[in-house]
Amino acid sequence: MNQHMIPIAVQGASRERKRQRPKGRQVDVAALQQVQALLGASPRRRDLLIEYLHLIQDAYGCLSAAHLAALASELRLAQVEVFEVASFYHHFDIVLEGESAPPALTVRVCDGLPCELAGAGELLAHLPALLGRDVRVISAPCIGRCEQAPAVLVGQRALARASCESVATTVAADDAGPGAAALAARSAGEGGAEAGAGSGGGALFAVLRDCLSGARTVESVIAELEDSGLRGLGGAGFPAGRKWRIVREEPGPRLMAVNIDEGEPGTFKDRYYLERNPRQFIEGMLIAAWAVGIDDIYVYLRDEYHACRKLLQRELERLAPAEPRIHLRRGAGAYICGEESAMIESIEGKRGMPRLRPPFVAQKGLFGRPTLEHNFETLYWVPEILAKGAKWFASHGRHGRKGLRSFSVSGRVKLPGVKLAPAGITAQELIDEYCGGMLDGHQLYAYLPGGASGGILPASMANIALDFDTLQPYGCFIGSAAIIVLSQHDSARAAAGNMMRFFRHESCGQCTPCRAGTAKAVGLIEQPVWDASLLGELSQVMRDASICGLGQAAPNPVDCVLKYFPHEVIR
Residue 514 in domain: yes
Whether 501 and 541 map to the same domain: the answer is: yes
pLDDT digits (tens, 9 = 90+) for 28-51: 999 999 999 999 999 999 999 999
Residue 181 in domain: no
DSSP characters for 312-366?
HHHHHHTSPS-SSEEEEEE--S-GGGGSHHHHHHHHTTS---PPPSSSPTTTS-G
- CATH assignment at residue 313: 3.40.50.11540
pLDDT score of 134 more than 50: yes
Whether 380 and 451 map to the same domain: the answer is: no
What span, in angstroms and rounded, lies between the C-alpha atoms of 279 and 318?
10
Pairing of strands 157-159, 152-154: antiparallel
Whether 69 and 139 map to the same domain: the answer is: no
What span, in angstroms and rounded, lies between the C-alpha atoms of 178 and 156?
8
Going by pLDDT thresholds of 50, 70 and 90, the confidence category of residue 182 is very low
Residue range of the domain that includes 311: 212-388
Q: How confident is the model over 344-355, as a mean pLDDT?
A: 97
Give 3-state DSSP helix, strand, coil % of the chain, rounded to 5.
50, 15, 35
Residue pair 447/427 in contact by the 8 Å Cβ criterion: yes
Pairing of strands 371-375, 404-411: unpaired
Residue pair 326/299 in contact by the 8 Å Cβ criterion: yes
Whether 244 and 367 map to the same domain: the answer is: yes
CA distances in angstroms from 205 to 181, 273, 281, 286, 440, listed in the order given? 22, 17, 10, 9, 44
Residue 17, pLDDT score: 53
Residue pair 349/47 in contact by the 8 Å Cβ criterion: yes
Whether 221 and 362 map to the same domain: the answer is: yes
Q: How many other C-beta atoms are found inside a 10 Å radius of the C-beta of residue 382?
A: 29
CA distances in angstroms from 179 to 105, 308, 327, listed in the order given? 17, 10, 21
Q: Is 218 exposed, middle or buried (0-12, 13-18, 19+ CB in 10 A)?
A: middle
- CATH assignment at residue 47: 1.10.10.1590
Residue 236, pLDDT score: 81
pLDDT score of 24 more than 90: no
Q: How confident is the model over 407-432, as a mean pLDDT?
A: 98
Residue 571, pLDDT score: 72
- CATH assignment at residue 153: 3.40.30.10
pLDDT digits (tens, 9 = 90+) for 238-291: 999 999 999 999 999 999 999 999 999 999 999 999 999 999 999 999 999 999
Whether 48 and 150 map to the same domain: the answer is: no
pLDDT score of 77 more than 90: yes
Whether 372 and 233 map to the same domain: the answer is: yes
Whether 325 and 447 map to the same domain: the answer is: no
DSSP three-state, residue 231 = strand
Residue 292 in domain: yes
What pTM did the predictor assign?
Answer: 0.91
Region of poorest pLDDT, from 179-188, 209-218, 293-302, 502-511 = 179-188
CA distances in angstroms from 171 to 108, 164, 446, listed in the order given? 12, 11, 37
Whether 263 and 376 map to the same domain: the answer is: yes
**End-of-domain residue from the set 76, 95, 114:** 95
Whether 78 and 113 map to the same domain: the answer is: no
10: enclosing H helix or E strand: helix 8-20
pLDDT score of 14 more than 70: no
Whether 254 and 324 map to the same domain: the answer is: yes
pLDDT score of 118 more than 50: yes
Residue 234, pLDDT score: 83
Whether 162 and 235 map to the same domain: the answer is: no
Residue 181, pLDDT score: 36
Residue 235, pLDDT score: 78
pLDDT score of 189 more than 70: no
Residue 203 in domain: no
Residue 429 in domain: no
pLDDT digits (tens, 9 = 90+) for 304-338: 999 999 999 999 999 987 779 999 999 999 999 99
Residue 21 in domain: no
List Cβ neighbours of 56 (8 Å cut-off, separation of 6 or more).
Answer: 35, 38, 63, 67, 71
- Altogether, the residues listed in the chain come to a count of 571
Residue pair 240/361 in contact by the 8 Å Cβ criterion: no
Work out how many domains the chain is built from and give that number: 4
